[in-house]
Every structure is written in structure tokens, then in C-alpha cells.
Amino acid sequence: MTSLEQIQSQLSQLLNELEEHIEFQPKQLFVIGCSTSEIAGARIGTSGAMEIAEVLYKEFSQFAKKHDIYLAFQGCEHINRAITMEYEAALTYSLEPVSVVPVKQAGGSMAAHAYTQLERPVVVEHARAHAGIDIGQTIIGMHLKEVVIPVRTSIRQIGEAIVTVARTRPKLIGGERAVYK
């Protein structure tokens, strides 16, 4: 198994590389889907690890502060992949809170840990994030704005989990006379 220090280092490097590809604007949403089971080398949803979630949360939190963005943590299928975030973020994006508290067994370790660390945590059913990271094939696409653009980094795994990173861009609409920047 990969050590906690290696996991932290891999995520740190990935987030540093992400800064080369995405120009974040203040208060944008950044969705995180994460299977701590997959990071540890087990099948998704089978052996969540709060200690892994704690290490990851610390890195994500520092990244969010640096870029003045909101983090949105996707829960597992047992809470319909609902999103844990700060109340302020839900308010900013007019997202309606739902009644659930993510826990390790229903929500996943990452969302459960985030819920305990956020200042005023709420859970919402859906979000439309500007960018995101999927660690362990948790399928974050339902919480990204259209149009999704994959971002390639040198980090393809964190621990044993496959990593996919994406950003979004506005739709290009119009016809043959349309002009785009």
C-alpha cells in the first residue's frame, strides 16, 4: 500500500500542475469525487479510510484557500452522489440543502471527513462545478458544468486509484458567422 506521505505528495504535485491548466476565478466551485478504498488498493466502497481522507482534505483545503474557490465533495451512491459543501457556497449558487449527513458507510470517507471540517457544512443534491478531480472513478461528471474538457497531468494515480481531472468552458453557440475569443 502507498504511504500517507506518498498520497499527500502525489495530490500536492497534481494540484500544482493543475494550476498550469486552469485559471480559477474567485468563488468558483471545484468538485472532488474520491474513493479512499481505491486509493488504498481495494474496490470502491469496500474499505474507506478516514486517515486518507484527512490527508487529502488538508491538501484540498490549502488549494481552495490559495485560489479562493469553494470545494464540493461528492458523496457515494448511497446518498445519490450528493455534494457536501460550505453553506456560503450553496447560498452563492442558490443550491437547496437536503437532509443527510455523510458518514463513512453512506457518503464515503472523503465527504464524511469534509462534513466534520467545514465551517457550516450542508449537503445539496446537485452542483454545476467549474472544474473537478475524480480519484478512483467515482464519476463526477453529473456535477460539472457543460462543456467538460479533460486536463492531462503527469499524475495518473493517487495511491492505487485512477485520477481524472477536468475543467469546463462556456458553450460555443451560433453558426458559421459566430465569432469566439
Q: For cell 466534520, name the residue.
A: 116
The pTM assigned to this predicted structure is: 0.94
Please report, for residues 41, 68, 100, the alpha-carbon distance to residue 24 in angstroms, rounded to integers and kept in the order given: 32, 8, 30
Across 1-24, average pLDDT: 94
Question: Each residue of 54-69: pLDDT tens digit?
Answer: 999 999 999 999 999 9
Reported as a single tens digit per residue, the pLDDT across 157-171 is 999 999 999 999 999
**Stated length of the chain:** 181
Whole-number percent of the chain with pLDDT over 90: 89
Residue-wise pLDDT for 114-145, tens only, equals 999 999 999 999 999 999 999 999 999 999 99
Q: Which CATH number fits domain 4-168: 3.40.30.10, 2.60.290.11, 3.40.50.300, 3.40.50.10360?
A: 3.40.50.10360
